[in-house]
Amino acid sequence: MSAQFMPQFMQYLLSGLTVGAIYALVALGFSIIFNASHVINFAQGEFVMIGGMATVSLSAAEVPLGLAIPLAVAAVVLVGLALEKFAVEPARGASVITLIIITIGASIFLRGLATLVWDKQLHVLKAFSGDAPIAVAGATLLPQSLWVFGITLAIVLALSWFFGRTLLGKAMLATSHNRLAAQLVGINVRHVLLLSYGMSAALGAIAGILIAPISFTTYDVGVMLGLKGFAAAILGGLGSGVGAVVGGIVLGVAESMSAGYVSSAYKDAIALVITLAVLFFMPSGLFGKRGGERV
């Protein structure tokens, strides 16, 4: 083992954790909508893209970052709510497959719209607090990674408080487990669905904003990030919050390690192969619901 091993390993690990945290946020977005409606929202990646692009535009217009970020998140939440209200809700009663196709259509539409509102160029957002690298066990860590870790952690804690402690959060869980019973106790399941799109949009936007200073952002950045987030959600077990986070981290680290030790040309393939391999032995993912329950 060479003396280079540890620093190199640390470097791959840190960059894997950074991108993994982003995947985790996207995966959480998938899980929230899946829980509320059993629909996989393929426009999730577009939430990520719009979040990043809107922040770039706002900060180019000299809006301070502290204001640009909440504005961009709010804009994406509006897009998410509009998607539910004007595309998903009118198809109420349609099959899940139909709804999924609607979200695919919406993602193509949003991507097209982005080329009109913005352009097809690569854009870069300034890092939140400079680019001076921090040395960690022989590896370097960008300050932006600390933002990614910190905000992801804060969001995970906030979500577990919301679903575990608040009545509204429990009502959302109840709706996902038994829609009929939820209606019968007086939960307005249409509001729950609307809320789930709003929350997922906010998570996507935050992911897109956090990653924008690290990788470039452009009109179709959501395609790959959406796909990776989806793979992470599947890997962890669709609908599981813990699964989404673990799935995201595992996928991010696996990708970074394979880019470092094998070849960066294969990093996407290797990550997806790992996902497939896990699903082959554990079809419901690492933390997914097992079939069958006591009656």
Interacting residue ranges for other proteins, rule: CB under 8 A: 167, 170-171, 173-174, 177-178, 180-188, 293-295
> Least distance in Å: CB of 247 to other proteins?
20
Q: Which is nearer to other proteins, 112 or 164 (CB)?
A: 164
> Least distance in Å: CB of 112 to other proteins?
36
> Least distance in Å: CB of 164 to other proteins?
10
Q: Which is nearer to other proteins, 89 or 131 (CB)?
A: 89
Q: Which is nearer to other proteins, 49 or 182 (CB)?
A: 182
> Least distance in Å: CB of 24 to other proteins?
22
Q: Which is nearer to other proteins, 175 or 218 (CB)?
A: 175
Q: Which is nearer to other proteins, 132 or 167 (CB)?
A: 167
> Least distance in Å: CB of 175 to other proteins?
9
Contact between 14 and 141 under an 8 Å Cβ cutoff? The reply is yes
> Least distance in Å: CB of 60 to other proteins?
45
Q: Which is nearer to other proteins, 64 or 186 (CB)?
A: 186
